[in-house]
Amino acid sequence: MNEVDGRRRCPWCLGSDRYRRYHDEEWGVPVHDDRRLFEFLTLEGAQAGLSWSTILAKRENYRRAFSRFDPKKVARFGARDVKRLMRDAGIVRNRLKIESTISNARVFLEVRREFGTFGAYLWAFVDGRPLQNRRRGMKQVPGRTDLSDVISKDLKRRGFRFVGSTIVYAFMQAVGMVNDHLTICFRRAQVAALPRSASSAKLRRQ
């Protein structure tokens, strides 16, 4: 069954109320705000080898631990912060993931200096417009695409870590670069009808 309260949804979200709220309110909605983009980039990287439900359950802890995902503040984290975070049971205590979040914040700021905003850099890969897919079933939803390969390669070239193509495609889905709500899902049409961000006109700077 993929129907709850009379509305049909993507079946992956039916495991919990938290999952369902995330699907109904956030997943696939275009994100242009840099702090939110840094949050999703961090959380998708933290998910590697784990379930998204695990990360969602720890999301508020991550916001607290990483200064509400302010990249300027996280970029200033040092060895003492790493030790503090390694003792924090509210997040995934993986040293490589923690250290990569800090180094990613520094690279994130470099990209922002080059493009004006990280959103401008990111959304230029899709010309400022979300890709509207028509997936009929979960088997049609890929784990990666040629475009996620391209973005992953460019992120790695710039120094980002935990940005493999599979992670990048999940990130693209989360921040609305692609609309992968299934055709049977009530959210697909709603997300597709959302207005393009006013910042989209500035995306082709480079």
Q: Annotated catalytic sites, by residue?
A: 22, 44, 52
How does DSSP assign 33-97, residue by residue? -HHHHHHHHHHHHHHTTS-HHHHHHTHHHHHHHTGGG-HHHHHT--HHHHHHHHT-TTS---HHH
Neighbours of 176 (CB within 10 A): 22
Distance CA 154, CA 118 (A): 13
Non-local CB neighbours of 3 within 8 Å, separated by 6+ positions = 9
Token reading at 133? 């897919």
Overall residue count recorded for the chain in this entry? 206
Neighbours of 193 (CB within 10 A): 7
Residue 105 contacts residue 71 (beta carbons within 8 Å):
yes
